[in-house]
């Protein structure tokens, strides 16, 4: 089956075929849910925010200007809804200080390679949880949706230089946390 | 020892993020969204625009017709409307089309084509159908 662009389904929805919206939901649900989940760190809340984001996007589809991608526009909605939810929950919304610990990437790689895939995934998730919500958003969009820094800045309403700084900080913190988790794990086994 | 080459950091982050994968919402996520979407009014921006355009046309075309009629020396009111004169171009087009069809019909190819279609239909109804029923 040929791959049809988002714009094709958007046109169909705008012409009254609302069932075409299911294709857009199916295509973007994992990324939308991942963004909400990484920011909120709660499955139920993330699912609710992801649903709200799709409904809001549907209601505002007429206003969607095609100068940006549908996914970028949708992620901006998810990001804003998640930030509002965080404010409601009064959770920590500020970035943490820069992590100055030295990193040993080679050592982390060697330790990770010795683990089973499920364990590796679990430890990476734990390390990701230690990042602030905006760092998680940036690192997720950059590495898991291959978005350029400019588009991430558009979604998060930050400057591109700010996104670059946070991205670098997020990488360092992720590795430092991963190193700590692996060290603790090895110590607990000994 | 600290090894913070930005490229290495980027490569290994890409690897770890790839391993982390994406989170999955509940299996009925799409259905739940679509149930709520179906409760919302449908989106018909083009139809709305089209209706406005049609209404404008329906109002402006008669006005333009009578204005043109008046400016060309005719009467502004429909009383000046002469059906025979107005219908003449349409009657002429109808006559031309009818003459063309009659001319085409007079060539041997058209009756031959009609005979062929009748023969095929007869073959299908009388022979093929009886064969398929007997099978």
Write out the E strands in A25-133. Answer: none
B23/A2: higher pLDDT: B23
The pLDDT of residue B47 is 52
Tell me the pLDDT of chain A (190 aa) as tens digits. Answer: 457 888 889 988 888 888 899 999 999 999 999 999 999 989 999 999 999 999 999 998 888 877 789 999 999 999 999 999 999 887 555 555 555 666 666 777 777 777 777 888 888 989 998 899 999 999 999 999 999 999 999 999 999 999 999 999 999 999 888 888 888 877 776 6
DSSP B15-48: HHHHHH------TTHHHHHHHHHHHSPP--HHHH
A6-89 and A105-189, same CATH topology? no
Inter-chain touch B18–A143, beta carbons under 8 Å:
yes
Give the DSSP letter of residue A132.
Answer: -
- The minimal CB distance from B12 to the residues A21, A109, A140 is found for A109
For residue range B46-72, list pLDDT tens digits in order.
455 567 788 888 889 888 887 887 777
Inter-chain touch B29–A13, beta carbons under 8 Å:
no
Inter-chain touch A168–B6, beta carbons under 8 Å:
yes
Inter-chain touch B12–A121, beta carbons under 8 Å:
no
Task: Say if B27 is an interface residue toward chain A (CB within 8 Å).
Answer: no
Interface test mutation site (partner A, options B6, B8, B31, B37, max chain A beta carbons within 10 A): B37
Whether the per-residue pLDDT at B1 is higher than 50: the answer is: no
Was domain A6-89 assigned CATH 3.30.910.20? Answer: no
Closest-CA distance of chain B to residue A104, Å: 5
Q: A148: helix, coil or strand?
A: coil
Chain B residue with minimal CA distance to A143? B14
Q: Which chain A residues have a beta carbon less than 8 Å from that of B45? A: 14, 62
Closest-CA distance of chain B to residue A136, Å: 11
Whether the per-residue pLDDT at B77 is higher than 90: the answer is: no
What's the CA gap between A43 and A50, in Å, rounded? 10
- The minimal CB distance from B37 to the residues A37, A58, A172 is found for A58
Closest-CA distance of chain A to residue B82, Å: 43
φ/ψ of B3, rounded to 5, equals -130, 90
DSSP A29-98: HHHHHHHHHHHH--HHHHHHHHHHHHHHHHHTGGG--TTS-HHHHHHHHHHHHHHHHHHHHT---SPPPP
Q: Candidates 1.10.10.10, 3.30.200.20, 1.10.10.60, 3.40.50.150; correct CATH number of A105-189?
A: 1.10.10.10
- The minimal CB distance from A16 to the residues B4, B36, B44 is found for B44
Return the top range by mean pLDDT from B77-81, B114-118, B123-127: B114-118
Q: Which residues contact B83 (CB under 8 A, 6 or more apart)?
A: none
Chain B residue with minimal CA distance to A54? B33
Quick check: A95 and A166 in contact, CB under 8 A?
yes
- The minimal CB distance from A143 to the residues B8, B13, B46 is found for B13
ipTM, two decimals, is: 0.81
B78/B89: higher pLDDT: B89
pTM comes to: 0.65
Length of chain B in residues, anyone? Answer: 135
């Amino acid at each position: 089956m040929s791959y049809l662009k988002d714009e094709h389904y958007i046109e169909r929805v705008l012409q009254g075929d609302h069932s075409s919206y299911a294709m857009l939901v199916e295509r973007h649900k994992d990324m939308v849910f991942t963004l909400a989940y990484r920011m909120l760190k709660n499955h139920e809340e993330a699912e609710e925010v992801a649903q709200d984001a799709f409904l809001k996007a549907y209601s505002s589809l007429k206003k969607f200007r095609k100068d940006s991608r549908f996914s970028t526009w949708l992620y901006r909605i998810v990001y804003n809804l998640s930030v509002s939810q965080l404010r409601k929950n009064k959770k920590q919304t500020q970035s943490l200080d820069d992590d100055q610990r030295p990193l040993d990437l080679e050592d982390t790689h060697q330790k990770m390679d010795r683990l089973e895939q499920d364990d590796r995934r679990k430890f990476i998730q734990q390390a990701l949880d230690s990042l602030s919500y905006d760092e998680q958003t940036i690192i997720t969009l950059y590495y898991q949706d291959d978005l350029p820094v400019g588009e991430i800045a558009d979604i998060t309403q930050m400057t591109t230089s700010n996104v670059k700084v946070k991205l670098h900080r997020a990488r360092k913190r992720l590795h430092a946390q991963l190193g700590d988790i692996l060290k603790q794990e090895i110590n607990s086994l000994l | 020892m600290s090894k913070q080459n930005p490229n290495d950091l980027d490569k290994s982050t890409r690897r770890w993020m790839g391993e982390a994968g994406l989170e999955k919402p509940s299996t009925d996520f799409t259905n739940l969204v679509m149930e709520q979407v179906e409760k919302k009014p449908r989106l018909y921006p083009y139809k709305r625009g089209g209706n406005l355009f049609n209404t404008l046309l329906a109002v402006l075309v008669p006005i333009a017709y009578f204005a043109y009629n008046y400016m060309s020396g005719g009467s502004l009111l429909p009383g000046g409307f002469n059906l025979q004169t107005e219908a003449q171009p349409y009657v002429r087009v109808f006559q031309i089309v009818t003459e063309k069809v009659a001319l085409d019909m007079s060539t041997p190819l058209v009756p031959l084509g009609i005979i062929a279609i009748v023969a095929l239909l007869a073959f299908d109804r009388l022979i093929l159908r009886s064969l398929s029923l007997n099978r």
